[in-house]
Structure 1
């Protein structure tokens, strides 16, 4: 299992058609793991996992990423886990 540290972004910015605005995340300070071999980002918290899955592909001459799914366990929804995963992915 390969891990790499992820930095979160600050401030608002555009990414494609998605606008990400800086918010105060209510997500507990959990380490994000980037599992490159499995093409996913994971936050492990209290025995559960929040996940952002992706696939890499070529878009003409450029490499691109397609976020295929996100999952946050019901008990952790609305606390900033998905936002934290997406920020790590972009």
Structure 2
């Protein structure tokens, strides 16, 4: 996990504060990976976020905390493979 932390980059504050007019999830296939053990974003909030993607969005549940690509990379890859299959 320390390798993942070392790879973190700063993000511009503007990505959180600027108004955005384009919502790409209307034009591209969407998929949500639910992190069932996430303590940063509880499952109920994840479900609310996923609901904004529309009825065509796929999903996958993983028994992971907030960063499944660090703690459960193989399972995360399986979720991404499922997303790719579902969108083709």
What band does the TM-score fall into relative to the shorter chain?
Answer: under 0.3
Higher helix share: 2
Higher strand share: 1
TM-score (norm 1): 0.26
- The higher radius of gyration belongs to 2
